[in-house]
Amino acid sequence: MATAMNTITLDARAPAAVAAKPLKAQDDKAMLRAAAELTRDLIAPRAGVYWADMGVSALVGYAALVGAVMLPGAWAVAGGVVAVLALYRAMSFIHEVSHMKHTQLRGFRGGWNAIVGVPMLIPSFMYEGVHNLHHAKTRYGTVDDPEYLPLALMKPWTLPLFIVVSALAPLGLLIRYGVLAPMSVIVPGFRRIVVERYSALAINPQFRRRAPEGEAKRQWDRIEAAASVWAIALIVLVATGTLPLRAFAIGFGIASAVAVLNQVRTLVAHLWENDGEAMSVTAQYLDSVNVPPPSLLPMLWAPVGLRYHALHHLLPGLPYHALGEAHRRLSTALEEASPFHRASYTGLPFLVGKIARSTMGAR
């Protein structure tokens, strides 16, 4: 899951980036074969797990949000922290929605949009049809990848900017659905701009998405209309004083914290060392990150299977609840020299330090 709107250009590659070598690793056939063969029985999603996890996360998140608004002092702070973590987990299911076969989990996309996507102004169409391009073998790490920037090859100041700008995501989404969406219906030519540039959870500022067609367009229009009505209602409620400004500010702060947390997770999901050339599947895996147990904190900052991001690039169709077992099987089966083991890291501080050092070295 990338940042909310690709409106900021981070055009700051360091001089050394021009001469940087793309990752050239050839595909390790033994690893790819083992990944496919050892996980065949894990491919089916478990509907009960999806619905319970998403529903409980959303319920806890919204209840804690109310607590952050209504409770005094330290209790309000505690409610805010719980709301951030629970809503972040609930929102992270957009990643699963973008990968799942909807015939296997009937109604889940609609349920997630109703419970999380529309209320939080991140409807699923902002990721569906976008995230799959990130997994295309010939697109990953190239200018056509909506979710890739060679951050490790950019100047050091781009990293804090990359994080800080994400705090404005809730404001951008409120403008996107409360202002731009209705304008795009009545202003000729503006609809194309909104669809191309402001309808994707992407970090690549050069990405332009295609307009949906057929049933995808009809579904998009229905969900966007709901999100637009909700955004306009929020604006009106605050403007008329019906929703107290303090309550709105607390909700906005929690949403901003969720966006920043997700952006930090995005920062360490890859090594970001490719400078635009197509990569083998193994090279894509090695440019991605696993943070497996015994580390416990990744359960909070990389929920819903995102702690196994490198493994996810090997097996993008595997449901999130199966990734832990898949990682255990492959870790045991593959010899120590396998590239499989080289994508595992110890935790967030090490990964942030690694990419920071890379930018310092590229100055």
Instruction: Give tens-digit pLDDT for 250-279.
Output: 999 999 999 999 999 999 999 999 988 889
pLDDT in tens, 81-93: 999 999 999 999 9
The whole-model pTM stands at: 0.92
Mean pLDDT calculated for residue range 6-19: 38
**Dihedral angle at the C-alpha atoms of 14, 15, 18, 24, nearest 10 degrees?**
-60
Q: Tell whether the model's pLDDT for residue 16 goes beyond 60.
A: no
For residue 137, what pLDDT band results from cuts at 50, 70 and 90? Answer: confident
Q: Do residues 308 and 290 lie in contact, with contact meaning Cβ atoms separated by under 8 Å?
A: yes
Q: What is the rounded distance in angstroms from the CA atom of residue 80 to the CA atom of residue 336?
A: 43
State how far the Cα of 315 lies from the Cα of 330, in Å rounded to an integer.
Answer: 12
Percent of the chain with pLDDT over 90: 88
Residue 311 has pLDDT above 90, yes or no: yes
Q: What is the pLDDT of residue 276?
A: 86
Domain ranges, ordered by start, for the chain: 15-361
Contacts of 296 (CB under 8 A, 6+ apart): none
Question: Is a pLDDT exceeding 60 seen at residue 4?
Answer: no
CA distances from 25 to 2, 21, 282, 283 (A): 26, 11, 6, 5
Higher-confidence residue of 333 and 295: namely 333
Per-residue pLDDT at 362:
53
Residue 2 has pLDDT above 70, yes or no: no
> What is the rounded average pLDDT of the residues 56-65?
98
pLDDT at 13 over 70: no
pLDDT at 21 over 80: no
Q: What is the pLDDT of residue 206?
A: 93
> In this predicted structure, what is the pLDDT of residue 25?
61
Predicted pLDDT of residue 360 = 85
Residue range 167-176, pLDDT digits in tens: 999 999 999 9
Banded pLDDT at 3 (limits 50, 70, 90):
low
Residue with the two structure tokens 């440019």: 287
In this predicted structure, the answer to whether residue 11 has a pLDDT above a threshold of 70 is no
- Within 8 A by CB and 6+ apart from 10, the residues are 149, 151, 154, 158, 161, 162, 205
Mean pLDDT of the chain: 92
What average pLDDT does the segment 185-206 reach? 95
| pLDDT above 90 (res 290) | yes
